[in-house]
Structure 1
Amino acid sequence: MKKKQKRDLYAPEEFDEVNDAPSRSQLKRDMHELQQLGEDLAALGDRVVKESDLPGDVEKALLLIKKITKHEARRRHMQYVGKLMRTFDTTQVREIVEAAKQGHDVRTAEFHRIEVMRDRLIGGDDDFLQELFDQHPEQGQRIRQLVLSARREKLKGKPPKDARALFKLLRLLPSSEEI
């Protein structure tokens, strides 16, 4: 005797309609991203927030962030900021925050470049010292004095007073890619 085959209960055409809505997890990630974007913009300062041409309620909420210090109140307020940020196109805000981050990266790179120059000079690179002397004759003598005294400080284990002064002087010189 043959067994009766059960009817195929699965009808694929019933499930053809695909739900393209984002998942709840994706919605939460987007919400947290908008909250972080608002916090990043507020961290740039009140002047930047006021000049950003944001809707009035968003601007007020962002200016209020710095005044809220309690953890739970701040968390709730950031949720409110995220809700407000969903009401308008945030591309301008993203551009402002990204430009600020890039500016910070440029300043950090310049700072590291000057540190490397100072370390080369204190480390004994006399050819580099001569190049700087030739490029900046008006400051050359001062650079040489600071380098020699910074080297002496390093040998004697003294605090780096002249090394700091050398760093400040190198920072004031016109930028030249010497490294």
Structure 2
Amino acid sequence: MNEFDLDPQDDSEEEIEYVSKTRMKKEMHALQELAVYLTTLKPEQLARIPLPQDLLNAVQETKNIKKNEALRRHHQYLGRLMRSADHEKIAAAVSGLKEEQNRLARLFHVMERWRDDLIAGDQEVVERFFIEFPHTDRQELRHLVRSAKGAVGTQQASTHARKLFRFVRDAMAGPGEY
């Protein structure tokens, strides 16, 4: 057997996977979308994502581009840079960031629900809050609920609702965390 003969039983040969042009384009567009999403992040969020310096510079440069066509071309450039970066790690970090944002949004909605229930509810709701968060200052909570209920329909309603929300947020955070 000479060097040009291929042995069908030879396992040392790597299997070549055929990738269609459509699939390649979809993957490239997905990488570009990920790179464009990076441009929407705040600097402290961006710092938590492992980006190569050239990609980080290009992402930060995006905010200076105002023209639509220039922005479209820049997004394509970001996609090209993303191809050479470790996009699995970047995608994992972005996914973790999105999970954290979703968790914080759910927590915020729980706090809003408590506030609304306290304003609309009776003494039973206040007692449930005390059971759920026993470290709560009872007198302060009762005062804030009474003020918020009394201000419903007035100009001061939002002010009292915000104060009650802050109190609920602090109570949910636990003692000494704020």
Name the TM-score, length of structure 1 as normaliser: 0.76
Q: 2:106 aligns with which of 102, 105, 109?
A: 109
Q: Kindly report the root-mean-square deviation, in angstroms, between the aligned alpha carbons of the 2 structures.
A: 2.3
Matched with 1:29 is 26
**Unaligned stretches of 5+ residues in structure 1:** 1-18
* Bigger-Rg structure (1/2): 1
Matched with 2:12 is none
State which drifts further: 118-127 or 36-45. 36-45
**Contact preservation (8 Å) 2:49, 2:94:** no
Paired residue type of 1:68: I
Instruction: Provide, for residues 50-109 of structure 1, a one-character-per-residue CA deviation record: whole Å limited to 9, x for no partner.
Output: 554433322221121122122111110010010111113311100111111111101110
Q: 2:158 aligns with which of 157, 160, 163?
A: 160
Paired residue type of 2:160: D
Q: 2:54 aligns with which of 53, 57, 79?
A: 57
The 1-side partners of 2:30 and 2:40 are apart by 15
Instruction: Provide, for residues 144-176 of structure 1, a one-character-per-residue CA deviation record: whole Å limited to 9, x for no partner.
Output: 11111111112x444322111101110111348
Name the TM-score, length of structure 2 as normaliser: 0.76
The 2-side partners of 1:117 and 1:51 are apart by 32
How much does 1:137 deviate?
Answer: 5.5
Matched with 1:148 is 146
Q: 1:172 aligns with which of 154, 170, 173?
A: 170
**Unaligned stretches of 5+ residues in structure 2:** 1-16
The 1-side partners of 2:161 and 2:50 are apart by 45
**Contact preservation (8 Å) 2:35, 2:79:** yes
Q: Between the two proteins, what is the percent identity of the paired residues?
A: 32
Aligned length: 156
How much does 1:31 deviate?
Answer: 2.0
